[in-house]
Structure 1
């Protein structure tokens, strides 16, 4: 009877895994959220500075006379220099908030687009004011 019981047990395999691997479905704790937060704060500050001081470049037109051919002396250029930084600051602030709230690639794309937009606004405004 001992032999019948021994033959009924399955053979022991040495190559079988001892235990199933542990899976952790929780998101990894990294500096990503903290980094997004601090980058977002810096971008919001940059957007605030752009919105406050960018429109002041219109004052470059103070020295314009009636026959002045400089770009800043036209009404359209003055409107562009006055409104472009405000619009860029508002859109960049929206992109920053979306970037801070989003996880993954979309959030970082928004956080990268915001300073690019602000830089373009500054370059265009300074080019018009200096020309």
Structure 2
């Protein structure tokens, strides 16, 4: 006997969501940014050593205490913020996630340019 009044139930699917190229690319880009942030945080503050040849009468920018603090601290701060942006970018699937992944290396490059500019002047 067939029950014509029984509700039809959609079939249950055991499929896992596939990993798309977008997710793999986002994670790969995030890992690259994290590596760049690590290198920046470790090595860019060493540009302060450009002030080793400074004398009391030296008028170069790197010979001032404020420039030395900027060259030493800016890359470390930028590396920390860029690492946070990279983690947010890897975790977020929206356009804001990609924005974070684009902003992080830009921030690191700006910190390198400023630090190298101050160390070289």
Q: Is this a same-fold pair by TM over 0.5?
A: yes
The structure with the largest alpha-carbon Rg is 1
CA RMSD between the two structures: 1.4
Identify the residue that residue 65 of structure 1 maps to in structure 2. 55
Note the residue ranges of structure 2 that are not aligned, 5 or more in a row: 1-15
- TM-score scaled by structure 2? 0.84
Higher relative contact order (CA 8 A, sep 6+): 2
Q: 1:104 Cα shift?
A: 1.6
Alignment of 1:1-131 (within 5 A): 29-131=19-121
Name the count of aligned residue pairs: 106
Deviation beyond 2 Å, 4+ runs, structure 1: 26-30
Q: Which residue of 1 aligns with 2:12?
A: none
**TM-score, with length taken from structure 1:** 0.78
